[in-house]
């Protein structure tokens, strides 16, 4: 066990410490890359070329930028205000109920393969977060910033969790195909993507139950937080 080579691991403590000390993440990640390259004796020019190649080949990750002009335009003309007004007409709407309903729809549609039906830039920023915030504003009046942030963060989390644990049920999704290909490559036969998709269902249901349980308690958390932040400053 003494032949374990620890040097390639050096990037990990760099990232952990850098993020923990809240240095700029771009700087931390670049530094981790430089440190790892140095630790395994990669020459500087080929290291920079690796940087450039991987950066170029992952440009599709920036495609959310294309969505921003539409969102920015609609927001200028009052999209967020409209979302809030519209939700105020539904008397039974609460932040938690809106998020729970979105979670169910998002997880089920992801299981059917309709992954692009939602997303952080597509639906959370322009629609879901303003509606969840609107419902709470209708109930408590203007919200303090920490409460706004808590509700918005929950809106983002709902989209992530619902899509992650729904998508693996859909048998044509990349992860299922990756697992299938891996098993076949390693000589395990008789497994179809359908089997893998089926075994994703128990966790998908647990994710739904666990997160809906948390959302059920969100309303009282919001009420408490509003009370806390709106309490008059104690006189010293």
Partner 1 sequence: MSKVIDADVSHTSTALVTIENIYLLIGIMVMFLVVRTLQDKNHPKRLTTALFWFLFGSSFLFGDFAIATFGAQITYLMVGISVLLIALLAGLNLVSMGSYSIPSEQVQNQSAKTLGNKLFIPALMIPIVTVVFTVLFDNVAINNVYLLDQRHLTLASLTIACIFALLVGWKITGGSPVQAVSESRRLVDSIGWAAILPQMLAMLGGVFIVAQTGDSIKELVTLFIAPDNRFMLVVLYCIGMAFFTMIMGNAFAAFPVMTAGIAMPFLIEGHGASPAPLVALGMYSGYCGTLMTPMAANFNIIPAALLDLKDKYHVIKVQIPTAVTLLAVNIILMYSLVFND
Q: Which of residues 91-120 bind partner 1 (CB under 8 A)?
A: 114-120
Residue 21: HSE in the Cβ half-sphere, 13 Å Cα cutoff: 8
| Residue whose token pair is 């990640």 | 29
Interface with partner 1 includes 230 (CB under 8 A)?
no
CA distance 122 to 103: 15
Q: Which of 108, 171, 179, 223 binds partner 1 (CB under 8 A)?
A: 179
Q: Which of residues 22-41 bind partner 1 (CB under 8 A)?
A: 23-27, 29-33, 36-37, 39-40
Using the minimum distance from each CB to partner 1, give the nearer residue, 50 or 220. Answer: 50
Q: Which of 105, 206, 220, 227 binds partner 1 (CB under 8 A)?
A: 206
Interface with partner 1 includes 17 (CB under 8 A)?
no
Phi, psi of 220 (to 5 degrees): -70, -30
Q: Which of 62, 172, 235, 236 binds partner 1 (CB under 8 A)?
A: 62
x/- track of binding to partner 1 for residues 116-155 (CB under 8 A): xxxxxxxxxxxx-x---------------xx--xx-xxxx
Q: How many CB atoms lie within 10 A of CB 148?
A: 16
Interface with partner 1 includes 161 (CB under 8 A)?
yes
Interface with partner 1 includes 88 (CB under 8 A)?
no
Interface with partner 1 includes 160 (CB under 8 A)?
yes
Measured from the CB of residue 232, what is the shortest distance to partner 1 in angstroms?
22
**Residue 46 burial (10 A CB sphere; 0-12, 13-18, 19+):** exposed
Specify whether the CB–CB gap between 8 and 36 falls below 8 A: yes
CA distance 96 to 131: 11
Using the minimum distance from each CB to partner 1, give the nearer residue, 172 or 236. Answer: 172
Specify whether the CB–CB gap between 132 and 172 falls below 8 A: no
Tokens at 107, concatenated? 């997880």
Measured from the CB of residue 6, what is the shortest distance to partner 1 in angstroms?
7
Using the minimum distance from each CB to partner 1, give the nearer residue, 47 or 223. Answer: 47
Cα 169-105-191 angle, rounded to 5 deg: 5
Selected range binding partner 1 among 90-98, 134-142, 206-214, 222-230, rule: CB under 8 A:
206-214
Interface with partner 1 includes 66 (CB under 8 A)?
yes
Using the minimum distance from each CB to partner 1, give the nearer residue, 94 or 158. Answer: 158
Phi, psi of 2 (to 5 degrees): -80, -10
Rg (alpha carbons) of the chain, rounded to whole number: 23
């Amino acid at each position: 066990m003494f032949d374990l080579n620890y040097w390639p691991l050096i990037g990990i403590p760099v990232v952990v410490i850098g993020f923990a000390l809240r240095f700029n993440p771009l700087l931390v990640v670049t530094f981790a890359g430089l440190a790892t390259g140095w630790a395994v004796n990669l020459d500087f020019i080929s290291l920079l070329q690796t940087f450039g190649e991987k950066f170029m080949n992952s440009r599709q990750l920036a495609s959310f930028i294309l969505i921003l002009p539409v969102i920015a335009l609609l927001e200028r003309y009052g999209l967020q205000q409209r979302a809030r007004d519209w939700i105020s007409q539904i008397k039974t709407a609460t932040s938690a109920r809106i998020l729970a309903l979105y979670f169910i729809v998002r997880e089920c549609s992801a299981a059917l393969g309709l992954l692009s039906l939602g997303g952080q830039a597509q639906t959370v920023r322009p629609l879901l977060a303003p509606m969840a915030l609107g419902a709470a504003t209708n109930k408590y009046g203007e919200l303090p910033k920490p409460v706004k942030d808590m509700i918005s963060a929950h809106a983002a989390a709902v989209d992530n969790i619902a899509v992650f644990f729904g998508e693996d049920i859909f048998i044509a999704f990349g992860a299922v195909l990756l697992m299938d290909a891996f098993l076949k490559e390693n000589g395990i036969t008789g497994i179809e993507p359908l089997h893998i998709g089926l075994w994703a269902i128990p966790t998908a249901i647990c994710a739904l139950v666990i997160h809906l349980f948390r959302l059920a308690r969100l309303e009282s958390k919001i009420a408490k937080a509003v009370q806390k932040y709106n309490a008059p400053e104690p006189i010293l």
